[in-house]
């Protein structure tokens, strides 16, 4: 868990900054399989990877999210 702000707030801050708003974001989350997933989808992130994740498949998941 992030100590000062969660991933949603971090993403919103990135989107509010003209320097970082164009950077594609993939969320790595322990909450990806919960109701939060709908919130992440509403934020227009490129992808969601849930923990625990398979390190052997991670590169392929990132590539698919960014395609």
- pLDDT over 70 at 53, yes or no: yes
What pLDDT does residue 38 have?
65
Q: Report pTM.
A: 0.73
* Contact residues for 51 (Cβ-Cβ < 8 A; gap 6+): 28, 29, 30, 32
The residues pairing with 48 across neighbouring beta strands, listed in sequence order, are 27
pLDDT digits (tens, 9 = 90+) for 7-36: 788 888 999 999 999 999 998 887 655 555
């Amino acid at each position: 868990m992030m100590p000062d702000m969660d991933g949603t707030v971090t993403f919103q801050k990135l989107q509010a900054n003209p320097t970082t708003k164009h950077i594609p974001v993939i969320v790595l989350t322990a909450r990806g399989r919960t109701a939060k997933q709908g919130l992440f989808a509403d934020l227009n992130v490129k992808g969601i990877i849930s923990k625990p994740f398979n390190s052997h498949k991670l590169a392929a998941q990132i590539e698919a999210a960014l395609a």
